[in-house]
Amino acid sequence: MKSTVEQIRQRFDNDVERFSNLETGQSATIDAPLTLELVAQAAARVTPQARHVVDIGCGAGNYTLKLLQYVPNLSATLIDLSQPMLARAVERVQPQTSGSVRALQGDIRALDLAPASTDVILAAAVLHHLRTDAEWEHVFRKCYAALRPGGALWIVDLVEHSTPTVQALMWQRYGAYLTELKDTAYRDQVFAYIEQEDSPRSLMYQLDLLRAVGFATVEILHKNSCFAAFGALKSA
């Protein structure tokens, strides 16, 4: 059985510091600093006149903070399961913008996003907690509806591979990365909570679904092993 929403929330309540480093991002994610930078730059180029960002699973606010370096004074809606994460995100984001900052605690599957209300949606290391195909489609449709014309959704996440031999290769490479980052005990710890909590989909599955719910264009910014950064643009 996979972890419940409440169990995931409890783990993140106790893990705020790991998600509070803007220079490294989340170190367990391969190429975290690079994908953080790429998403912020891509969002700034695609929606330079953006006024509002929604950050789903915002953690301690790293992605919104990085985006504000390129598109200043955005208003921001920060969403996370964890109240301690949200508190840290607001504490870090509010001084960096003259825009409004709103915090929403909850699960994106259950929260309402107003139609055509935002220009940029960020979703970093969060969608892999979705379980069923119906949930994936529901959340992608919700994001599409919430974007204004010309807006974009940017995702950085763990992805699986459709071919078992390729999946095994990428998992082996990820294990080697984690071991080099710390040690084998850390590798085993990360693998254990991924097995318990996460249910990622392949990159191609997500790109196809983004098109199916209405996005006009999809873009792959980066992929390394079992992590990818990509986006979807709504027609202007």
pLDDT number for residue 210: 98
Residue 7 has pLDDT above 90, yes or no: no
Residue 136, phi-psi category: left (phi > 0), alpha (psi -120 to 50), beta (remainder): alpha
Helix (H, G, I), strand (E, B) or coil at 172: helix
CATH number (domain holding residue 172): 3.40.50.150
Structural domain span for residue 212 = 5-233
Whether 92 and 64 have beta carbons less than 8 Å apart is answered as no
> Residues 168-212: pLDDT tens digits?
999 999 999 999 999 999 999 999 989 999 999 999 999 999 999
Residue 16 has pLDDT above 90, yes or no: no
What total of structural domains would you count in the chain?
Answer: 1
Cα 103 from Cα 83, distance rounded (Å): 9
> Residues 19-30: pLDDT tens digits?
666 666 678 899
Neighbours of 141 (CB within 10 A): 14
Residues contacting 46, CB < 8 A, separation 6+: 152, 231, 233
